[in-house]
Each structure stands twice: as structure tokens, then as C-alpha cells.
Amino acid sequence: MNKRFLSIFFFLIFTVFGIAQEYKIDSLKLLLEQADTKDEKIKLYKQLGRCDQELSAAISYLNQGLVLAKGYSFEYESKLYSSFGRIYFKAQNADSTFYYVNKKLDLWKKQGNQEKIAESFILRGKYQKRFQMFDAAILSFEEANVIFKKKQDISGQIQMLNSQGIIHMNVENYAHALILYYEAYELARVNKIPKSLASTSVNIGVVLKKQGDYEAAVDYFKRAKEIYEVEAHDAGLANVYNNIGNVQRAQGDFSNALKNYSLSINYREKTNNNLRIAYTYNNIALIHTEKKELDKAIEFLKKSEKIKIKHEDFESLGSTYLNYADIFLIKGDEQKFVYYSGLAEQMGGKFLQRDVVRKSMINRSEFEANRNDFELAYTYLSHVYDELDTLDEKEQKILNATLLAHYKNEQSKLAISKLSEENSTLESQKASLLEDDRLSQKLIVAMGLLTFVLIVTSVLFFYKQRAFAYKSRELARTNEVLKQTTIGIEEKEILLKEIHHRVKNNLQIIKSLIRLQNSTIEEEKTRLLLQEFEQRVSSMALVHESLYKSGDIGKVRVDDYFQELIQYLVEAYKLQQEVTTNIVIEIGDLGIDTLIPLGLLTNEIISNSLKHGFEPNSNGIITVDLKKIDKEFYQLYIGDDGKGFDFEEERGGQESLGTELIHALVDQLDGKYEFFNENGAYYKIKFKLQEKNRA
């Protein structure tokens, strides 16, 4: 039933647009027949290619235009490559999209036109971003930025910094996003480019809002507002009011949020930006959902949906349908919830929107859990289990509740199965005993006749036979146990991998429980303490995850582990200043007995550096140097170039858990340490490997 509804829905949408497009295509074909010049024909072929909804027909028109354009006009040839890319992107064909975008790039590289080369890099970066190829997109934007720097094009540099910042923000790498945004902000401020300064201020405000720093976020939005008012920039003002409304909505100030959303709509109406109005309608619907005014929320979602369909903005429909699903989940309307949840999942999958698909899975899990179908709820959650750390507090509560219910359900099944198995064994033993009893009765009668004849022989052999039988039974039992318990090397590695995977998952759940507990605590000191515990658990979880992924189940690549651990810590503390790392690892791999205490030791020292090592608004360097110094010993040199501190004095203080832990972990590694408090705080730690099977 679900799929049929979806099919009918999309059929109606595309039928309406198909009729309108058909009239437009017929008109363009008529103009093509009447065209006299090559320029007119190329333009009409390009328009036909962009209008025709059938992929093969669209490609045919563009190819005909390309035949005319090659050798005639680089500009037309370039535009046709762009049209090819756009069509293949709509068809979600990544290979063909990048083939034609790269053709455009190669064309302008041959001509040496730097402006067009930069434009081509930007186009490629945008498509890479849409296909979620984030690292590649950042590199493309950086390539364009190199050209803008050579040309001293400040506006272009600001645009590229903001483009890279948006990608980092979308993957929740907020610290790096802010670094890029602040650089763009300074360029715009120093070079007095007001519109760029305003747009960058908005970007900074959005990141600060996502980090929960609402006061600072509003401050940057107001800076942008002042500039846009002077520039009489209605579109910019609409964006600012919408973002201020988002902050107020997050704070629960619904009355003022609605006022700012209303102002945003007024300015967007002035600029005829109806699609942006649809986004604001969506935000208003979210407020009414929070206030449990569900009918009003549906009213605004319908307005938003209608505008998006009219403007063919199908990509953003996934989030709209997700909001519908949320409402019908609250209302308890199962049929409509399943319908809109299915739409959200389908649109999210079509346009590679992991967030939409993930939240749809969470909703479906909550829905099934409410119906006490915990097995199906767990099935939906299994799709997002590896993203446990990215879920918000509400989603984590749902996940943990469902996991607990599933665990209890599985335990019940296991208990029932075990009892059933034991009962079956008892029945079998009972039947065997009864059969033995019947046979014994028969044997007693027979043996009575032969007892007198064999009694002397039986006495002689009795003790010897009993000993022999006992040894035989013991040997047979031992062999059987050995057969059952002996497993091959390959099976052992699979089991060990599974164990490490489960340990990692259990540690992830512990992290989530710590985080959930932390969200309920108001005292800052306790919150920081729980955050430290969470990071210690993360360093251990990372070891087990690395072992699970490793080709050799007993070893972990040390350089990969340290890079990932330190990157996690830098991002976890969300520093305003720029902290760079100097990591030199001269060891190939280590086992779990050494790496867990070594990872915890590194976690404590680096965390201390990030929390206390640097003055506010200053930059710094964290150094990690790990190497083998002789046949028996290894050395870890680690620290920061910050303001330093007295290690022994800190260790003697009341709050010395971190320093005591460092001391204990060094002992665990059979090591010794030296502490240097000059030009920063550094530790030189000499230690031994803890693996028993290693030299």
C-alpha cells in the first residue's frame, strides 16, 4: 500500500510538470526549424537538452549542439559541458557528471583562461559536495582559491573560504569551519567588502548557534543586519531575521521567533524569493509542532510543500516529509506516519541526504518500539548504530531504550531456549534410564543361570576391568572435549574480531550513557569530569575499533591511531584558537596491552594541554614524537608550547586525578618520565612493551 501511494504521488507531480514541459519543448523545436545562424541553433539545442525530461532525448539534443560548437566557440562548448553535467547530476549519475565537468575544466586549461579554470573548479566542487565527496570538494575549492590568490581576487578568496567552511560545518567539524570563516571575515573587514563581511558573519553565527553559543551567534547576526540595512539588501535581511528566529526557536522563545520569521517572509516577498519563503514556512511549522499545535503545523508544511513542488525543489522535500512524519507520530496516525516516513526515506535516499534517512530510521524505530515490536525497532536502529556519536540527546535516548528492550527480549529468548534444551535433555535421559532398566531385568535373569560358573573368573578380572573401563571413558571424554573446543586460526581471528567489535560497541553505549547523564547535570565541575571520563572511554574504544579493522588482529597501526585520537580531542574541545599538531610516529604497530595505557596516557596529557595549556585567543602547537630508542625501550615525547605548569605541585593539589593517572599509567608501562616546564609543558616518557610474546 505504501509503495502504491508513493508511486501515485510522484506520478501526479511529474505528470503536471510533464504537460507544461511538453508545450515548451514543442515551441523550442519550432524555433529550431526556423533558426538561420549557428549561434541560434546551439542555444536552442542547449535549451532543449535542459528542458526534455527524458534523459536519452536530452543527451541527443546536447550532442547535436556540441557538434556545432566544437571548433566554433569555446564559450558555447563550455556551457554545453555544464549542461551535460547538470542533466547527469539530476539523474544521480556521478561518473558521467564528473566526466563532463572535467571536460569543461580541461577545455579552459588548454586555453589558459585562469578565470574560467577557477569557475570550473568551483562547479566541480559543488557537485562533489552534493554527491557527499567532501574531501574532494574541499580540494576543488582550494584549487580555485589558489588562482584567486594569484590574481589577488579578495572576493573570490572569501567565497572559497566560506564554501570550504560550509562543508566542515555540515560534517560537524565546527572548529575547522570557524577557522575558515574567521579568515574570510578578516579579509572582508580589512578590504572593506561589506556584503561579504555580512554573509560571512551569518555563517559564523550559524556555527555558533549549532555549538549552543546563542548569545555570540545573535551578535554576529546583528553585525550582518547592520550592514544589510545600510546596503538596503532585502535578501540578506530576510536571511538574518530567519536565522535569529532559528536561535530563538532553539531557546524556546517561540513568540519572538515567530515575529522574526514574519519579518523574514516580508523581505523575501519583496525579492520574490518564494522558495526561501517555503523554508521559513517550514521553520514556523516546527514551532507549532513544539507547541503541540499540530493542525497549524500541518497548515504551514502544506504551504512549504506546495512552493517547493512548484519550483521543482524536490531535493529539500525529504526534510518536509520528515516533519510531517514527526507530527503524525505524535498524533498517533499510523497510516499517515508510515506514508510520510516512507516519502522522507525515499527522497533522502534519492538525493544522498544521510541526515534525512537516518532520522527517518530513528522515527520508524520509535514508532515500532511504541507498538512493542522491539525486534523490528532494533532492525531500523541497526542502520544507524555506527553513527551513535552523531545522534542528538533525544535520538540517543530512543536508541538506548530500544537497545535495552531488545537486549531483554533476546535474553528472554535465550533463557527459554536454554530451558527447553535442558528439558529435552532430561526427557532423553529419563527415556534412556527406563530402557536401561528394562534391559537390566532381562540380563538379571540370564546372569542368574551363569553366575555360579563365572563367579571365580569375574573376581579375578573385576578390578582390572573396572580400571581399564574408567580410563577408556575418561580418554574418550577428553578427546571429545578437545574436538569441540579446538578451533582453527581463521575461526579464532574471526571470533577475536567480533569480540573487539562488540567491546567497541559496548564502550560506545557507555559513552552515550555518560553523555546523557551529563546533559542532566547543571554543575559545571561535574559536567567537565564526566566529559573527561567520556574521552577516556573513547581512547579505549578507538583501540578496539582499530583492532577490528586491522589485517593483523593482534596489532594496531600506531600512526593511524594517534592521528585519529588527537584529531578527536581537538574537535571535542571546540577551541576558538587555532591549534596545530606536530605528530611524528616511528613505530609501525603495537598490541593492545601496550596501546591502551599508552592511549590513555596520551589522552590525559593532550586533554590537559587543550584545556589549560594556551592563553585565550592564542595559537599553539601540540607535539607528539614516538620512537624506539634501543632494543628494550621506547620513548614518547609529548606536550605543548603553551604557558606551562608545575607537574609536582599540580600532583600534590586537591584535584589531581589527571596527574595521578599519568603517574599510574607510566608505572603500568614499566616506565619512567621526565617533565620539562620550559617554553611549554613537555613529558619525556621511557617505557617497555607490555605484550608477552614480543621482544
Does residue 694 belong to any structural domain of this protein?
A: yes
pTM reported for the whole predicted model: 0.54
Q: What is the pLDDT of residue 107?
A: 92
Residue 258 to residue 234: CA distance in whole angstroms: 19
How does DSSP assign 403-428, residue by residue? HHHHHHHHHHHHHHHHHHHHHHHHHH
Burial class (CB in 10 A: 0-12, 13-18, 19+), 175: buried
Tens digit of each residue's pLDDT (9 = 90 or more) over 656-688: 567 778 888 898 889 999 988 888 899 999 998
Query: Which region among 19-28, 271-280, 416-425 has the lowest average model confidence (pLDDT)?
Result: 416-425
Q: What is the pLDDT averaged over residues 218-246?
A: 94
Is residue 63 one of the residues assigned to a domain? yes
Cell triple for 240: 538574518
**Alpha helix (H) residue ranges in 252-390:** 254-270, 274-290, 294-310, 317-331, 334-350, 354-370, 374-381
User: Is 59 inside a domain boundary?
Assistant: yes
Average pLDDT value for residue range 559-588: 81
Domain count, the chain: 2
CATH classification at residue 64: 1.25.40.10
Residue 683 C-beta-side C-alpha neighbours within 13 Å: 27
- Residue with the bigger pLDDT between 415 and 619: it is 619
Mean pLDDT of the chain: 77
Domain presence at residue 115: yes
Which residue among 123, 157, 190 closes a domain?
Answer: 123
Q: Write out the residue range of the structural domain in which residue 81 sits.
A: 39-123
Give the pLDDT score at 96.
92
**Structural domain contains residue 20:** no
Cell of residue 687, nine digits: 617505557
Does residue 85 register a pLDDT over 70?
A: yes
Residue 167 placed within a domain: no
Range in 196-205, 392-401, 571-580 with the lowest mean pLDDT: 392-401
The Cα–Cα gap between 539 and 371 comes to 38
CA of 155: how far to CAs of 15, 69, 189, 191, 194, in Å? 43, 32, 11, 9, 11
What gap in Å lies between CA 99 and CA 82, rounded to an integer? 11
Could you tell me the pLDDT band of residue 150, with boundaries at 50, 70 and 90?
very high
Using an 8 Å Cβ cutoff, are 288 and 300 in contact? yes
Residue 15 lies in a domain: no
Q: Confirm whether 312 is domain-assigned.
A: no
**Of the candidates 98, 123, 148, which is a domain's last residue?**
123
Rounded alpha-carbon distances, angstroms, from residue 637 to 258, 379, 523 = 55, 46, 35
What is the per-residue pLDDT across 406-432, written as a single tens digit (0 to 9) for each?
545 555 444 435 444 544 554 555 455
Place of cell 572559497: 160
| Residue 411 C-beta-side C-alpha neighbours within 13 Å | 6
Share of the chain above pLDDT 70, in %: 69
Assess whether pLDDT exceeds 90 at residue 229. yes
More confident residue, 441 or 129: 129
Residue 688 three-state SS: strand
Does residue 385 or residue 270 have the better pLDDT?
A: 270
DSSP 97-126: HHHHHHHHHHHHHHHT-HHHHHHHHHHHHH
Phi, psi for 656 (deg, rounded to 5): -115, 20
pLDDT of residue 346: 84
Single out the residue in 73, 103, 123 at which a domain terminates.
123
Across residues 683-695, what is the average pLDDT? Answer: 75
Distance CA(415)–CA(252), nearest Å, equals 47
Say what the pLDDT of residue 617 is. 75
User: For position 590, which CATH number holds?
Assistant: 3.30.565.10
- Which element (helix H / strand E) includes 580? strand 579-585
